[in-house]
Structure 1
């Protein structure tokens, strides 16, 4: 599947906020957004007032960049969110938050979502004792997310846990880093568990046109 391979700091600058796409590096003086928070491109100043469409589009792009999904995949998530009961915007965030690569990141096994996605793709993560290498896998309440009991897998995850110590773990997850690191999904995540400030109503208005 196609994926974005360009400089991720440009995405933060385009969205006008830190998306923490490089993990702990974003908290240091090396963060490109801190040094240059203007939008990418030749212009040195921000343009005038955004149009109504641009405001809606930026909100959608912010969520896409945050979770690392492209347009076609995002549309599939939105279509599924529409079919579910309840608020479409909240359903959309719940589906994105349930992605395995996101959960691995939120547990602290990967410093960023891209690092967590690589862990999943390379087969370092198991779900309920079975190896799962699909980053978009939807976790369910009761699922046990565990690191493979292999030296290479354990070294990578323990390094990430050490560098990201002190990170807040969302309420819907519990983690045990003693021995072989593992996490348990206690309940389905809600829109309140998403750490990204986003106005889902703008996304719904844009995608429902």
Structure 2
């Protein structure tokens, strides 16, 4: 299962904005972006202005880092979005938002998407009563996401819910007791993404 394993705080600095890759730490003064918001590298203030290609590339890299997907995965999502009817950029963001690890994170069951990926991979999450341990599983409208009724699963999720300060998106509902669970009310779209994304730049770059 491929994943980003390097220092993630550098990714926020590289993209020039918080991507909330370290969970609750990102909301504290310890956040690396708060302490040092320059781009990583030996001479961060000598960088020139981005070219047109650079602007397109940075937008794509920002989305990849935000959702924790690698290049091959991202290309598959883009190819599927191109085959679908409707706006390619909006469909792409909808596919990424529908990932199970993202849904678990947006429900507040995990402190970060990396944490959510681990919860799913270790079998702590069920979808419609069946265990799903594939983080890239795409949820559908009406799916019910529930934490397994066992001590280790409940303890991990309840700790995340206790420190969760993120608002619940409109396309999800959540119940915290007696067992944390949520439901996908509708399919998400580009407007539900919690960071600004210029999807047109991504489409132009990946269509070449």
Q: TM-score range by the shorter chain?
A: over 0.9
Note closer, same or farther for the CA distance 1:175–1:48 as it changes in structure 2 (3 Å cut). same
> What runs of 5+ residues in structure 1 fail to find an aligned partner?
none
Q: Output one character per residue of 1:148-203: Cα deviation in whole Å (capped at 9) or x when no partner.
A: 00000000000000011x42000000000011000000000011111110100000
Structure 2 residue 188 is the aligned partner of structure 1 residue 189: yes
The whole-number CA distance in structure 1 between the counterparts of 2:32 and 2:46 is 17
> What runs of 5+ residues in structure 2 fail to find an aligned partner?
none
Q: Which runs of 4+ in 1 moved over 6 A?
A: none
Give the CA deviation at 1:46: 4.7
Q: 2:203 aligns to what?
A: 204
TM-score by length of 1: 0.98
The whole-number CA distance in structure 1 between the counterparts of 2:142 and 2:63 is 26
Q: 1:80 aligns to what?
A: 80
SS at match of 1:26: helix
CA RMSD of aligned residues (A): 0.7
The whole-number CA distance in structure 1 between the counterparts of 2:90 and 2:13 is 26
Whether the aligned pair in 2 keeps the contact of 1:38 and 1:45 (CA below 8 Å) is yes
Q: 1:29 aligns to what?
A: 29
Q: Output one character per residue of 1:48-105: Cα deviation in whole Å (capped at 9) or x when no partner.
A: 2100000000000000000000000000000000011110000000000000000000
Q: Output one character per residue of 1:118-152: Cα deviation in whole Å (capped at 9) or x when no partner.
A: 00000000000000000000000110000000000
Q: 1:13 aligns to what?
A: 13
Whether the aligned pair in 2 keeps the contact of 1:60 and 1:203 (CA below 8 Å) is yes
Give the CA deviation at 1:23: 1.3
Deviates more, 1:35-44 or 1:124-133: 35-44
SS at match of 2:45: coil
TM-score by length of 2: 0.98
The whole-number CA distance in structure 1 between the counterparts of 2:64 and 2:14 is 13
Give the CA deviation at 1:44: 3.4
Whether the aligned pair in 2 keeps the contact of 1:145 and 1:184 (CA below 8 Å) is yes
Count of aligned pairs between the two proteins: 208
